[in-house]
Amino acid sequence: MGREFESVSGYSFYRAVQLAKEKEKGRFHLENKFTFAKEIVRDAGEYILQHMKEDLHVERKSSPTDLVTKLDKDVQALLIEKIRSRYPDDLFCAEEGCMRAAVGQGCVWIIDPIDGTNNFVAQGEDFAVMLAYFEDGVGKFGIIYDVMKGDCYHGGGDFQPCRNDEPLPAFKRNL
């Protein structure tokens, strides 16, 4: 068997096998990125726990309730450094600073190093590290790590929604 065999759709058997291999390679690559992302989000949470009792150097951004801390900036830098070391061509849209790649620009990581900075500053809880990944405008996965509770919610795209690697039950709407 070879390229001379054509299927009804016009694709050769050879081309169908090549497409299947490319899809599998892409899936493997995405699974590696997803696993890596979960690891670095947990690392970021550990970094926050180690440094949250230090002077936070709280600053206002656009309003009195729009805050940023030194730890926000440090955690974002840590995440970007880790991602860049593994995926140097990927882009970022990050909460702190001026990294604003559009999600349709290829491989883009969305980062909010401490979502809920007001809660973090005021009570030291009810905040999360958030990370999402897009390819050409399509969301591939997202991760929300509740640092104080140690709960990691992750999934989206081809990945089942989970809490700490345990599948979440399907949403049931009561009418």
Q: By C-alpha distance, which of 129, 102, 103 is closest to 116?
A: 129
Q: Contact, 128 vs 147, CB < 8 A?
A: yes
Q: Please report, as a single letter, which amino acid is at residue 133.
A: Y
Whole-angstrom distance, CA of residue 104 vs CA of residue 139: 10
pLDDT in tens, 102-144: 999 999 999 999 999 999 999 999 999 999 999 999 999 999 9
The predicted structure's pLDDT at residue 63 = 82
What pLDDT is attached to residue 137?
96
Contacts of 113 (CB under 8 A, 6+ apart): 44, 71, 72, 73, 75, 76, 79, 94, 95, 96, 129
What does the pLDDT read at residue 21?
57
According to the model, what pLDDT value does residue 24 have? 60
pTM of the predicted structure, to 2 decimals = 0.82
Question: Among 73, 116, 120, which Cα is nearest to 97's?
Answer: 73
pLDDT at 175: 73
Per-residue confidence (pLDDT) for residue 152, from 0 to 100: 98
The span from the CA of 7 to the CA of 130, in Å, is: 45
Q: Residue 109: CA atoms inside 13 Å, Cβ hemisphere, count? A: 30
Residue numbers in the chain where pLDDT is lower than 70: 1-27
pLDDT of residue 126: 96
Q: What is the dihedral of CA 4, 9, 15, 20, to 10 degrees?
A: -140
